[in-house]
Amino acid sequence: MAGNGPERASPRRAGTRPHAVCSVSELPPGERKIVEVGNRSIGVFNVHGDFYALRSLCPHQGAPLCRGTITGTARASQPGEFIWEREGQVLRCPWHGWEFDITSGRSVFNPHRLRVRTYDVTVEQRAEEEDPSVESFDVTVEDGWVVLHA
């Protein structure tokens, strides 16, 4: 499970470590940020205010998946009529056009058999180290941090 708006918390997978990605304001809806964590390239996406992360490795032929087009998909409602839906939730591989649901990592054309790795993402307040010998004052934080747990 990966998508989280600023007010929601997500259970984290065991064995993961947090990696600060950027402030929330640096990743507006419809945008992505690709980060390197160890030897993995991971794309962090803002889909309508919720954050998701996918491994940037297409299972087809190893393309840099997260560099692909962010789009939606068409659904047939009746013969000859198509409805455009899920705008901003579908990632199209830049090499061969395979499509994946950003919110789940599942393939659009074969969701039960094909998927890419997802990672948990949370939005957290940036913690400053506190020194008990220093006088402190109450402050507010107006912009949280997008944190990847990989």
Task: Give me the number of domains the chain comprises.
Answer: 1
Better-predicted residue by pLDDT, 16 or 24: 24
Better-predicted residue by pLDDT, 8 or 55: 55
6 located within any domain: no
- Domain of 41? 18-126+143-149
Better-predicted residue by pLDDT, 89 or 14: 89
98 located within any domain: yes
13 located within any domain: no
Residue 115 sits in a domain of what CATH number?
2.102.10.10
Output the pTM of the full model: 0.76
As a whole number of angstroms, the distance between CA 123 and CA 26 comes to 13
For the stretch 46-105, pLDDT in tens is 999 999 999 999 999 999 999 999 999 888 788 888 888 889 999 999 999 999 999 999
CA angle 24/27/31 to nearest 5° reads: 150
Q: Return the closest-CA partner of residue 32 out of 15, 61, 56, 1.
A: 56
pLDDT above 70: residue 6: no
Contact 26, 143 (CB under 8 A): no
Q: What is the mean pLDDT of the chain?
A: 84
Q: Return the closest-CA partner of residue 47 out of 69, 70, 63, 78.
A: 70
Q: Return the closest-CA partner of residue 13 out of 64, 53, 48, 56.
A: 53
**Which of 23-37, 66-80, 129-143 bottoms out in mean pLDDT, i.e. has the lowest?**
129-143
52 located within any domain: yes
**71 DSSP 8-state letter:** E
